[in-house]
């Protein structure tokens, strides 16, 4: 199957895409994406696993939520986070594969 042709981005599309990549450009947020790639978690669980303050985790999750990279679900007093959709997981997996591939080539 042939790869679909990628058309040149408009300025508006390029700016939106850049904001998405900027949100993913922080190592701490990438760790959050990696955790949420496999399961839904609340802020407390994430903070505990990473040994970070809940306020710091909440701030990073807010950035990801604002870019529609994660979504939330409320259950009682807890808010659970998960990746917004399969595209986010795909984007993460492709980027990870690219990094692994380029590291292997540079050896």
What the block records as the tokens of 72 is: 């939330």
∠ CA 85-90-96 to the nearest 5 degrees?
135
What the block records as the tokens of 67 is: 């870019």
If you compute the radius of gyration of the chain from its CA atoms, what whole number of angstroms results? 16
Per-residue CA distances from 81 to 24, 38, 92, 106 (Å): 16, 11, 16, 36
The CATH class of 30-105 is mainly alpha
Ordered by start, the domain boundaries in the chain are 30-105
What's the pLDDT at 1? 67
| Residue 90: strand pairing partners | none
Per-residue CA distances from 71 to 64, 67, 95 (Å): 9, 10, 21
Do 20 and 63 touch, CB atoms closer than 8 A?
Answer: no
Do 27 and 52 touch, CB atoms closer than 8 A?
Answer: no
What's the pLDDT at 89? 96
Give pLDDT tens digits along the chain (107 positions): 678 888 899 999 999 999 999 999 999 999 999 999 999 999 999 999 999 999 999 999 999 999 999 999 999 999 999 999 999 999 999 999 999 988 777 77
Looking up tokens 């659970």 gives: 80
């Amino acid at each position: 199957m042939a790869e679909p042709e990628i058309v040149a981005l408009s300025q508006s599309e390029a700016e939106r895409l850049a904001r998405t990549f900027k949100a993913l450009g922080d190592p701490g947020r990438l760790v959050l994406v990696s955790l949420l790639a496999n399961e839904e978690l609340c802020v407390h669980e994430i903070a505990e696993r990473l040994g970070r303050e809940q306020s710091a985790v909440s701030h990073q999750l807010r950035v990801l939520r604002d870019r529609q990279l994660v979504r939330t679900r409320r259950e009682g007093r807890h808010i659970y986070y998960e990746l917004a959709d399969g595209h986010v997981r795909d984007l993460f997996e492709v980027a990870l594969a690219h990094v692994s591939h380029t590291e292997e080539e540079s050896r």
